[in-house]
Amino acid sequence: MSSIQAQFPDFTTHHAPYDAIDPAGALKGSAAGKVVYISGASRGIGQATAVAFATAGARAVYLTARSEDALKDTRALIRAANPETDSAYSVCDVTDAGQVEASVADCVARFGSLDAADANAGVLGPWTKIGETDPAGWWQSWEVNLRGVYHVIRFTVPHLIESARRHAAQGGSGGHLILLSSVGAQLLMPGASDYQTSKHAINRLCEFVQTDHGEDGIKCFAIHPGGVATDLGLGMPEALHDYLDDEPELAAGFAVWLCSGAADWATGRYLSATWDVGEVCARRDGILRDDLLVNRLRAKP
């Protein structure tokens, strides 16, 4: 694992929520008045993120996933976390543009606005060498992980732009868009070509969102949620399961922190939820000066 860590900044890493990203502490009230849209919200990281935004005072959280029963479970957790946070859901397959468009329209019709979006839905197929893969299964990873994320971007961005302008006029921050990436985006691990290339593409897509819509007020981030023992994470080879030692609430709190406006200077970049946010912000000048945490070709030794 040391060769992996060498590719990243030497920030202090966390495996569980801590004070700076606590939605019930330092971030309490940071989501007040905001409507948050979350795909893949039926379990794991997406579910924890929904609860975190409710805890931070969100006015409403809109949930999508393919399992209605699991979405109902998430709504119940939201009510328990904050009875004042409204919620709604729709059963939605992110690979279907029409379904995503309809779910976003329903969110705005119900709650009147959309202030933050979290593209959390993803899939991890079996780890197989390229020459032995099932073509349909390989491409399905891209359908969910990249096309699904694109659909969320495409149909939320117009509403997020409105939010960004409204909040800016009020002296606040809105229009946040979080894309779930992975540390795998930066790695080359045998058998993971579909998953890791799709996540690498998400990082670049994040940069394009910022290039195209940064002037409109959009704040887009691609994040590694940590190594979480979700059903998806446990689909990795068993030898890697020891690295699934991060709590889903870590990524959830990190998402709330990003949408608070505290990291608006770092838009268009890859960030890890495990990195200490105080240390990340302390290196702001260097990150911006050297244009770090983005996908670039190294052409010099």
Residues known to be catalytic: 195, 199
Q: Which two tokens stand for residue 198?
A: 């799709």
Q: For the sheet with 176-180, list strands across it.
A: 86-91, 60-65, 35-39, 116-119, 176-180, 219-224, 269-272
Q: Backbone phi, then psi, for 21, in 5-degree steps?
A: -120, 25
Interatomic CA distance for residues 239 and 83, integer angstroms = 42
Q: Rounded to whole angstroms, how far apart are CA atoms 27 and 39?
A: 22
For 5, 184, 281, the CA distances from 11, given in Å and listed in that order, are 10, 18, 11
Q: Which residue has the tokens 């260097």?
A: 286
Partners of residue 180 on adjacent β-strands: 223
**Phi-psi sector, 31: left (phi>0), alpha (psi -120 to 50), beta:** alpha
Burial of residue 183 (number of CB atoms within 10 Å: 0-12, 13-18, 19+): buried
